Structures are given as structure tokens and as C-alpha cells.
A and B are shown apart, each in its own frame.
Chain A
Amino acid sequence: MMIIIMAILASTLRLATPLIFASIGGVFTERSGVVNIALEGIMIMGAFFAILTFRYVPNPWVAILVAMTMGMMTSLILGVLAIHLRANQVVAGVAINLLAGSLAAYLLEVIYGRSGQTDPIRGGLSRSPEALQFLNDIPVLGSFFSGLNPFVYLAFIVVGLAYFVLFKTPFGLRIRAVGEHPKAADTVGINVYKIRYICVMISGALAGLAGASLSIGAVNMFREGMTSGKGFIALAAMIFGKWHPIGALLACLFFGFAEAIEIQASTLGIGWIPSEFLRMLPYVATILVLVGAVGKAVAPKASGQPYDKAHH
């Protein structure tokens, strides 16, 4: 029984990890006033480019850097559209999702000469980190630690950093000011566009990292459609966590737990719960939060509203 519990806990953390990266990315953009529906598409780019890097440089850390860079490049499209062109941010996000999915599939076909999925890579980061091997020898808990890959630890570091940056630094205060009241922020000399660009890029890097954690951190290959709505679950987690890094973390853990339970349902003797309902959980829970059934969630005031520097 202990073994099963440990396995489920480890699996919860593993499944929550990509969600954590992406939803922290979402927290940054939305806190600065830009809605990011494109998380899903950016994750696809990250997942693909992490694997592609292995074709040329078989080093996971280089792959992560490339994935984050490509994530930033993709999010830059959202940035330019949402910030300078004051486009409808939701439309921009939809476009990026469509483009990213097709682009990854196109590159897969052009570079690998096949569709569907890449070859598996060797040397990914799907196992527990070398430096922490001693944890695996702890009785009982060892089986928990051996189930954690480096991305899991990284995710918690990212949450801590995000919390620190957003709430303990002047830069974070500026971000929140821009997201709540851009006009006021502009008046006191904060460069609204610059802050928003930085936040959109941060979210691109994090969503790219989320993609990498899906590909080189788990299945060691890229598969078309492998993100399967995780970008939207991350978006849901961000809302569920009330636009707060710690809240988003807890929401991701909750959603990861639901997924882990679903996978282990028959072992746990809860096979009678339809798996579809467990998969629905994140989405339904988020609607309930929005409705105020589980405590009211309030978005940053200026989220989704383009800011026009010239006319204020």
C-alpha cells in the first residue's frame, strides 16, 4: 500500500510539472495585463525543439535552452500583436496555437521525413537526477524520490522565484501595477510596453520549458498532439490559483493528482469512477471557481485590454 501511495505521489508531481511551468508563465502574462491563450501552442514548440536539439547536440540542458528560446520567439508573436498592434489577444492566441501545431508537424515531416512522432532519444531527463541518487536509498521514501525527474525540482524553484519576483521586488510591483492600472503605471514613469513584453517573453520561456519537460522529461520523443490540452489545463490552474504563483502551484498539484488517480484507478479499486469525469475535473473545477462557488477569483483588472500609449 505504501508503495502505491509513493508511486501516486511521485506521479502526481511528474504530471503536475509541465502544468506548473506553463501556469506560472500564464501568471506572469496575465499579471501584466495580457491574456495568454497561446500556452498550448508554445508548449508544442518547446516539446518539439527540445527533441530536435538532440538530433544535433545530445545534451538535455542545451535542449532546454533551445526549447525556452523557441518558446520566447513564439510568444514574441503574441507580444507584438497584443502590445504594439493592440490586437484581440484571444484571436492572437488562437492563431499561435494553430500555427505552432502545424509548424511542428511540418518540421517533423521535413526534417525527420515522417509524420506522427520522432524517434526516441537517448539521454533525456526522465530519470531521477544523478546528484540526488542518495535520496533513492531512503527506506519507503526512496521509491518516491526515484520517481522524480530533474524537471520536478526545477518546477518548485520556478514557483519560488516567481513568487519572489512578483511580490518581493520593485520589478514585480511594476508588473502588477501595469496589469491592474496601466494608465496609472504609465503616469508614474513605468514603461507599460516594456513590462508587458518582458512578461510575455518570460511566459514563452516557461511554456517552452513546460514543453521540454513533456518531451525530454517524460516520453523521450515528440508526438503530434502530445500536449493534448495541457496548455489549457495550465490556464485553468492559473485561474484556479487566482493568478498567484503558490495558488497556481497548488492547483497544478491538484490537477496532477486527479490525473495520477485516473491512471491508477483500477489498482486503487476506484475503477467505477468513469475516467472521463476525472479528466473533466480541472475544467469543471475552474468554472466553479469563476462562478464563485469555491471562493471568488478576480482577474487582474487590465488583463486582456490593449494599452494605447498615445491616447491616455
Chain B
Amino acid sequence: MEKTTESRWAQLWDNFKFPLLSIFLAFLIGSIFIILTGNNPFVAYYALISGSMFGMSRIGETLLKTTPLIFTGLSIAFAFRCGLFNIGAEGQFVIGTLFTVTAGYIFRDLPAPLLIPIILTAGALGGGLWAAIPGVLKAKLGVHEVIVTIMLNYTALFLTNFFIRTSLNPSTLQGDVQKAHSVILGENARLSNMSDLMPIFGSSSLHTGIFIAVAAAFVMWFLLYKTTMGYEIRSVGSNPFASEYGGISISKNIIKAMFISGMLSGLAGATLVSGLTFKIDQAPASAGYGFTGIAVALVGKNHPLGVLASALLFGILANGERKMQIAGIPKEVVGIIQGIIIIFIAGEAILQYFPDLKKKFRRKGPKTEVAEK
């Protein structure tokens, strides 16, 4: 069915009206919290925007914060498309970092053009395998993926801490003293810094991982909408039993979708390590990219290109919060805003209580919600 450009835009607008309204309302409520601290919300939001957008070096920092969120957002969106709720992006991210550093150490003598693809692949593989566990359990035994992925998040964290403390520690591998972090990746395992390629990015630590993230979004779009595999995964997501009847295996596609979803989260970890931190630290709690990724996927309506836009929004929030802090506003306001955005999006059904509003917001019949469970 051919669609005119105009109807495509209308459809796009239809899809993103509600997330946009949610964001607006969340900022509105956030401003109450800013006023309570005795500050002017306009000053605060100006600090937020200027701190993350005004100047190439700040934009660079924003894109740096956006990079892992694109990956985890895509990861969760991909699983949603198959009707799966992957709360485990957090753990897959951590395992991704573990595999990246391990591969980076094992193959440390290889030249950069070989080593970098190897360690990124290792990170993706680590995340993929970790996500395949709940995938297999769901497909073969019907165990709900939400609980398993939550449990695996903490398991991943402690497992990684264990390896950092023991076999990956500089004290074990390099005869150094015991450290609270893993071995450090060599120069040949590091993604290029953007300001080395384009000096305009100045002091920002943005690395070329952002290109990989954006490419991943397009690859995912192609995979989902232009290949048979994507069609099968989506059809299992929207109507599993009809799919099975039509000869599409539910269990195979669940495992496949979880593996790919996990690979994306693993890549979030891999690019972060190879592009920015070059090592992993022992941590009492995980970094939260996986949980923010849920918000990113929801705001982006689980569409790869929507995820790109919403990851940028959350990148702006993450980078701007420090500037707000400097302007004297508690940075937690940003977390509150993020929480409220998700609450509104989760409560989209509130529109049913306002029939007029609903008409405005939903011209077509209700679409299948992928997040339904």
C-alpha cells in the first residue's frame, strides 16, 4: 500500500503527540519542584538547555551521554516488538563491558583495525548470550522474562565485580597492586575521540561510538521492516498464535529477539568501555543505562528512529542536569521529570476518561500496544 508523504507525517504526528505531551507535562510538574527550591524554572531550564546544547563541545558531551542510551533504548524497543519486556538491559550492558575488557586483554597485541571490531563483537556477544538465558527460559519453559531479567541484572553485576576483583584485576594480570577496577585497555583497543577527527568538538569526550549507535538504529529499522526475519519477529509480537498457525515458530523468534536485544545492550557497554572508560570499576549498583533505556524506548514508541530522538532528549537531560546543579537547582529534578514522563506514558489510557481529548489524540483505532503483557 502506497502512502503519500503527507499521510506519513500525519501518522508520525499521531504517534508522537502523546509522548510529546507527556514530556511537556513532566517539565511543567518539574517546574513546581524547582519553584519549591526557591528558583525560577525558566532559569533552571535555560541552564539545562544551554548547558547541553550551546556550543559544539557541550553538544559533544550530550551526544556522549546519548550514545549508550541509543543502544539500550533500541535493545528494549527490539524486544518489545517481539512482545517481550527486557528489563535486563542493565545486566546485559554489564556483561557487555565484561566481555569487552576480557577480549581487549586477550587480544591486546592485535592492531587497532582488528582489535576494535573484535572487542565490540565480544561485548555484543556477551550481552546477547546473557539475554538469551531469559529468552530460552521463556521459549522452552514459559518462565516470564521480566522476573528472570531482573534477577539476572544483579547476578551480572556481582559476577562482573567478582572478575574485576580477581582474574581481570591489574594485580593478577600485570603484577600491579590490587585495584578496584579491571585492567586498562591499550590505545589500540580504543575508539577514536571525535575531537581528534573534528577539532570543533573541543574538550568533549565524544567518541566514534555515536556513529555505531546511529548505524545500529538504521540496521534495526531495516531488519524489522525490510526482512523476513523482522516480519516474523513483529508478527510474534503482535499476534503469537496467529503466527504459529501461519508457520512462524514462537519459541525460535523469542530466543532470536532476546539475543539481538541483548547484543544491542552489550554494544552499549562495549562502546562505553572502548570509547570512554577503557576499564570497568567494581560497583555497588549498576549505572542505570538499562533502566533509562526503558524510558527511551517508550518515549520513542519502540521505533528505531523514534528511539534516536528520545535518546537525544534523555542525553540532553543527563548532560544538562550538571549545569542545573551549578545554577543551584538539585539535579534530582531531572530524575523526577524522567519518572513523571514514564508515568504519563504508562498511563496513556487516561485519555479514555476524556473522550474529546481522546478523539484528538487518536484519530485511528487503538493500535496494538507492544508493551502489553
Contact = CB atoms under 8 A, between A and B. Distances in A.
Contacts of B369: 88
Interface in B171-208: none
A292 interface: yes
Interface of A: prevailing SS? helix
A64 B330 CA distance: 27
Given A87-B346, A91-B371, A95-B342, A299 B144 contact: yes
State which size class the interface on A falls in. 35 or more
B336 A290 contact: no
Interface in A90-108: 90-92, 94-103, 105-106
Contacts of B267: none
Interface residues of B, number: 50
Contacts, number: 144
A290 B294 contact: no
Given A95-B342, A110-B330, A283-B155, A88 B373 contact: yes
B343 interface: yes
Contacts of B143: 290-291
B2 interface: no
A95 B330 CA distance: 19
Contacts of A98: 291, 295, 335, 338-339, 342
B250 to A, nearest CB: 19
Contacts of B144: 290, 299, 304
B87 interface: yes
Most-contacted residue by chain B among A109, A225, A287 (CB, 10 A):
A287
Contacts of A236: 151
Given A81-B346, A105-B332, A277-B162, A90 B87 contact: yes
Given A91-B371, A102-B339, A276 B158 contact: yes
A88 B349 CA distance: 10
A276 B345 contact: no
Contact of B339 (A85, A86, A95, A290): A95
B85 interface: yes
Contacts of A37: 87, 146, 150
B332 A106 contact: yes
A91 B342 contact: yes
Contacts of B347: 80-81, 85, 87, 92
A85 B294 CA distance: 19
Interface of B: prevailing SS? helix
A228 interface: yes
A279 B158 CA distance: 7
Contact of A77 (B141, B158, B343, B348): B343
Interface string A267-306: 0000000101101100110110011100000010000100
Contacts of A86: 349
Contact of A102 (B161, B332, B350): B332
B176 to A, nearest CB: 20
A90 B37 contact: no
A232 interface: yes
Interface in A219-260: 225, 228-229, 232, 235-236, 239
Interface string B311-346: 000000000000000000010111110111011011
A38 to B, nearest CB: 11
Most-contacted residue by chain A among B155, B165, B284 (CB, 10 A):
B155
A107 B339 CA distance: 15
Given A85-B348, A91-B371, 7 more contacts: A91-B345, A98-B338, A236-B151, A276-B159, A287-B151, A287-B152, A287-B155
Interface of A: 35, 37, 77, 80-81, 85-92, 94-103, 105-106, 109-110, 115, 225, 228-229, 232, 235-236, 239, 274, 276-277, 279-280, 283-284, 286-287, 290-292, 299, 304
7 contacts: A80-B347, A81-B346, A100-B339, A101-B335, A102-B332, A105-B332, A235-B150
